[in-house]
Amino acid sequence: MRILICEDSVLLREGLVRLLEDAKHIVVAALPDATLLDQTVADTSPDLCILDVRLPPTFTDEGIRAALRLRAQHPALPVVVLSQYVEERYATDLITAQGGALGYLLKDRVADVTDFLDAITRISEGATVLDPEVVAQLLSRRPQDERMRRLTDREASTLALIAEGKSNQAIASTLFVSEASVEKYITAIFQKLDLEPDESGNRRVLAALVHLEYGGGQPQAGAPS
């Protein structure tokens, strides 16, 4: 995979280069800021971009604005945003914006090499992968939606894992159930969230967005798990 990195920290930038190259990826560019990002993307045609949320010169939202711009201008380009902390507004802006595959990961996760590389691969293949801590904090600050109350405990747990970008196989492993059961839960989730089939196959992402926007609702009284 051809990857472009935009990260101001020399140590983290060089560490990412080494990590990705050791995993047989090609780092086409490693930039310290977003000044030349657009031109470099045009020149190198990366398969995936990794950006820090906060970049020079102000270290506020340069990285997020760059990520939003890339997602708008290059819808097929997967974008991974790295953040030191969960920044709710930035995460929400990214998740709700139009664009291609997306990852929002905390920098601490990079230390877990296996999980990080797995996330990069899944994002490159079209998945939306959100750090579990990002999901947890977004949920804690969202109002409830009546649709979420329709879900059983097991369906709600499945939806939370979908929001983290996990595959059906990974969800089954986490919940200690069969993949057939996971497929049954997901079908029920789509029905209860009123998500009709569409040609683009985006119901999984739409379900995750409902979860992030309104999630955390308790199942109806007496609902089976």
Pick the residue with more confidence: 89 or 193? 193
pLDDT for 165 equals: 74
Reading across the β-sheet that carries 79-83, which strands appear in turn? 26-31, 2-6, 48-52, 79-83, 102-106, 129-130
- pLDDT the model gives residue 221: 33
pLDDT at 18: 95
What is the average pLDDT value for the chain, to the nearest integer? 82
**In 10 A of CB 217, how many CB atoms?**
19
Question: Residues 169-178: what's their mean pLDDT?
Answer: 92
Highest mean pLDDT among 97-111, 141-155, 188-202: 97-111
Rounded to the nearest 10°, the torsion over CA 13, 18, 24, 25 is 10
Q: What is the DSSP letter of 217?
A: P
